[in-house]
Amino acid sequence: MKESQRKGLISVHVAVALFGFVGLFAKLVDLPAVIIVLGRVFFSSIFLWIFLRFKKQKIRLEEKSDYLWMVGAGAVLAIHWSSYMQSIQSSTVAVGTLTVSTFPVFVIFLEPYLFHEKLKKSDVFCTLMMLVGVFFIVPAFQMDNQITQGVLWGLLSAFTYAILSLMNRRFSSRYPATLVSLYEQGTATIVLIPMMFVLNPVITLADAGVLMMLGIIFTAVAHSLFISGLRTVKVRTAGILSGLEPVYGTLSAFLFLKEVPSFRECLGGVIILAAVFLSTLKPEEKASDAPA
């Protein structure tokens, strides 16, 4: 293995591990999910702007219509990350991360509709596998059940992430991923700011410090590492490594929060991750996104 490839694999692996730890913040920070996400995108946007200015990269977009697309994608990102954090707060880190991993289900059925691509039998099989996995995670379909609530929030997060991924296909070949992240996360910041006045949360200096760490290290730096790794790592390989995110999330929750997943959650998780793995075994495509 070449040295550049080895460094690329390390970058992707470290990035995925950092993404897996994000779920901890939903439990460790005593703030509403949307406020945690607001802090995340606020500090990440500032870091990305400074980074792009330091690299002297062009920040303006090529077409006026792209600004509208970026704003729309940023609004979707705000919903995606907020529902992800809410999923974990309602249930557990394992349930939230595993449920969000089902986003390929929505991509599989949205792609043929939006891009006129043929739906394959293998995709339908992977979808059914993921649905079976979700069935095992949910103990009972009752709205007052916390696990059920977590799964529903997680499915909303997965759906919006699928939409975001497809929207980003418009930009993948024309703009650096860091620039796309800046616009989307900047928009998400603006979208979520009104929640500060609606919820009127009490944010301590310690909370601000933790949110800064979430935004800079676990978001901006993590995405930069993932994107840099894709220069030498195949998209399929990166996709397989991304499947480890729920594993890191569940392991971190066990170590730091003493959350022990049930047998049904473990079984459902194995089925979902197996389906995600199978869905990556298809012809190479250009990657435009890092994991959530």
DSSP 160-224: HHHHHHHHHTTTTTTS-HHHHHHHHHHHHHHHHTHHHHHH-----HHHHHHHHHHHIIIIIIHHH
What is the pLDDT, as a whole number, of residue 141? Answer: 67
Closest CA to 86 of 149, 164, 1, 166: 149
What is the pLDDT, as a whole number, of residue 292? Answer: 62
Whole-structure pTM over 0.85, yes or no?
yes
Residue 292 lies in a domain: no
Which residue type does 138 have?
V
The terminus-to-terminus CA distance of the chain in angstroms comes to 28
Residue 289 lies in a domain: no
Residue 16 lies in a domain: yes
Q: Are 105 and 131 in contact (CB under 8 A)?
A: yes
Rounded-to-integer distance, Cα 35 and Cα 43, Å? 12
Which residue type does 239 have?
G
What is the pLDDT, as a whole number, of residue 117? Answer: 67
Residue numbers of the domain that contains 122: 1-281
What is the pLDDT, as a whole number, of residue 182? Answer: 94
Rounded-to-integer distance, Cα 239 and Cα 112, Å? 21
Residue 291 lies in a domain: no
Q: Are 173 and 66 in contact (CB under 8 A)?
A: no
* The total number of structural domains that make up the chain: 1
Residue 286 lies in a domain: no
Residue 11 lies in a domain: yes
Mean pLDDT in runs of 10 for the chain (292 residues)? Answer: 79 90 94 97 96 91 92 96 96 90 80 72 78 78 82 94 85 83 95 96 95 96 84 71 83 91 85 76 52 60
C-alpha torsion 285→94→137→266, nearest 10: 90
Residue 234 lies in a domain: yes
Rounded-to-integer distance, Cα 80 and Cα 70, Å? 15
Residue 288 lies in a domain: no
